Amino acid sequence: MAETPDRQANQRDLEEGIQRDFSQSMSYGDYLRLDVLLAAQQPRSEPQQHDELLFIIQHQTSELWLKLMIHELRSARALLRTDDLAPALKRLARVKHIQHTLTDQWSVLATLTPSEYAEIRPFLATSSGFQSAQYREVEFLLGNKNADMVKVHAHDGDARTVLEELLHEPSLYDELLAHLSRQGYAVPQRLLERDWSRPHTSDPELVDLFAQVYASPAEHWGVYETCEELVDVEDAFQQWRFRHLQVVQRVIGHKTGTGGSSGVDFLRRALDLTFFPELYEVRTRIGE
């Protein structure tokens, strides 16, 4: 007859050096302020609906990742301003990983069926992801400037101030063009002295400049690599937009959004927006 296995064998004993007493020391929960973080999920449904916690956590974690993305984009922009290209590219590499995480998160929310969402939607009232100030910060940093978007945050003085400042500051792409100009590239002067509150529009001379870079990558490797990093960022951003659209269509169909937008049709129009138009237009020229 087989022996009964020792129940204690499947147990890892604590090593002597492991900290046990946190009465006078900082713990993991203290450092991360988990008491505050984990108390921030406050469902509003009555009676409480099981799936509302998913909806809240999905959007709260997205806001945390957006906060980190803003931190990295601001740093990348500042590094370009001082011509520190290598660390700026390191920041953008991290941004891309954040973007992929945000896109993957939609798969969790996609488990919410239309019937389940219908149980919690009335409790959202007029709140909507469209109203995310941090998402707007990311768009402004990347160059999608729109003064009307600032008006959505008129009720929030801090958010409005941040967006107003970003609206009138050079975007990441603007700082790249200024960097290229300082490195001796023939960036049109009108692009260096323009109204920063307006979105950048395609410039044929800039397409010519990038065509020269892509024609001889080895001679312009730093610029070439930076261009491809920006295309990666925009491509990841578009994947996030498209996945968002898919999940919204799957969950609510063509209903009007809680914030008053047309919903899916409004999201679909965002797919036509581009941050770095010349970096896509130049592809038609490559190899001609």
Alpha helices in 143-203 (DSSP H): 147-151, 157-167, 172-182
244 known member of a binding site: yes
Per-residue DSSP letter, 121: G
Q: Which amino acid does the sequence have at 96? A: K
57 known member of a binding site: yes
State how far the alpha carbon of 231 is from the alpha carbons of 55, 92, 201, 288, in Å.
31, 11, 16, 21
Q: What is the three-class DSSP state of 279?
A: helix
185 known member of a binding site: no
Q: Give, to the nearest 10 degrees, the angle between helix 133-142 and helix 172-182.
A: 20
284 known member of a binding site: no
252 known member of a binding site: no
Exposed / middle / buried, residue 227 (Cβ in 10 Å: 0-12, 13-18, 19+): buried
140 known member of a binding site: no
Q: Which amino acid does the sequence have at 242? A: F
56 known member of a binding site: yes
42 known member of a binding site: no
State how far the alpha carbon of 268 is from the alpha carbons of 123, 130, 263, 271, in Å.
26, 14, 9, 6
120 known member of a binding site: no
Structure tokens at 208: 């010519």
* Annotated binding residues: 55-59, 117, 121, 244, 258
* Annotated binding residues for substrate: 55-59, 117, 121, 258
* Annotated binding residues for heme: 244
